[in-house]
Amino acid sequence: MELSITRPDDWHLHLRDGKLLEAVIPHSAHHFGRAIIMPNLKPPITTTAAAMAYRESILKALPINSGFTPLMTLYLTDSTTPAEIKLAKESGVIYAVKLYPAGATTNSQDGVTDLFGKCMPVIEEMVKHNMPLLVHGEVTSPEVDIFDREKVFIETVLSPLVLKFPQLKVVMEHVTTMDAVKFVESCAEGRIAATVTPQHLVLNRNSLFQGGLQPHNYCLPVLKRETHRQAIVSAVTSGSKRFFLGTDSAPHDRLKKECPCGCAGIYNAPVALAVYAKVFEEAGALDKLEAFTSFNGPDFYGLPRNTSKITLRKTPWKVPESFSYASGHVVPMFAGEMLDWLPSPV
């Protein structure tokens, strides 16, 4: 079996920097035409100047003759100014602003501590320029159970924000619960959308513990119950335009995953398209795969769809155990396992 689809884009990607950037970017550039690049480096990408410099680093690290385009973002802080949003829009290379609640995930310590108290002028400027807000949708209050953080975020932050700014474009990133699915489906189409990762489509929280602690299945937001996974699969395979591909591929060195306090993040760039194809095939919805991978994202962002194609072949292949780079090794999702779909450029 063979399936030809418009080249997909990745609307949520971590590329890191330095030698790790050089090691991982070929995997994304091989499969995707564009990607929204996450700004949570050390230090974070909080200014237009920093985003443009990071973009140059990415372009230099690309394989020769690659057509991959990085779409940059700004990291929202309590001190971000409306003037910075205006600069970002005028740059022509920054496409969104990322909200990390302080302490929610990797390198989020500089994130927002009081969205409604400190960021309203910035949000107003984003509405003015039609600049999307990308949200890591979890509260960080220690009294909230980690499995409930997304639900509580919707109730206490996202719902009030959407009511206050009905014209704000929002992407709820890496949704993990039926609560998020219901919220996105209840909002105006074209204003609120969601990205969905491979891991949240095929893994549930049992995957963290079966056969012992599984650090390479640990990500944030954390994997949830099977009922939530099923709700997300139903949403993305339904043909809804509100959901689109965002891998949240997040590479860490193996030693930073397999240690007493392991980092959150799953490196799925090498396998993402194969996993998405598996999900849609099992749902009997391969005819809806192309819209999810290649149409819904650019349509939401107001960008043209890609014109090139890729082919997905029903050919079993083994995922490498790891990928080496100058400072160590990165372990991919499903390392050493067999997958059924093999993507390749046309």
Query: Domain 2-344 class?
Result: alpha beta
Catalytic status, residue 248: yes
30 is catalytic: no
Is-catalytic flag, 12? yes
Catalytic residue list contains 14: yes
Burial tier of 338 (Cβ tally within 10 Å: 0-12, 13-18, 19+)? exposed
**Per annotation, catalytic residue among 98, 169, 200, 224:** 98
Q: Classify burial at 234, counting beta carbons within 10 Å of its beta carbon; exposed 0-12, middle 13-18, buried 19 or more.
A: middle
pLDDT tens track for 217-249: 999 999 999 999 999 999 999 999 999 999 999
Determine which one of 14, 151, 216, 257 is catalytic.
14
What residue type is assigned to position 55 of the chain? Answer: R
Give the contacts of 71 (CB within 8 A, at least 6 positions apart).
Answer: 34, 35, 36, 37, 93, 95, 96
pLDDT confidence of residue 21: 98
Catalytic residue among 136, 200, 216, 228: 136
Name 244's bridge partners. Answer: 195
Per annotation, catalytic residue among 31, 151, 169, 174: 174
DSSP label of 217: G
The tokens of 45 are what? 């990408």
Rounded distance, CA 45 to CA 38, Å? Answer: 9
Mean pLDDT, consecutive 10-residue stretches, the chain (346 aa), reads 97 98 97 98 97 98 97 97 98 98 83 95 98 97 96 98 98 98 96 98 98 97 98 98 98 98 97 98 98 98 98 97 97 98 86
Identify the helix (H) or strand (E) that includes residue 88.
Answer: helix 82-91
User: Token pair for residue 313?
Assistant: 């072949």
Residue 346 confidence (pLDDT): 63
Contacts of 297 (CB under 8 A, 6+ apart): 9, 11, 195, 244, 245, 246
What's the pLDDT score for residue 82? Answer: 98
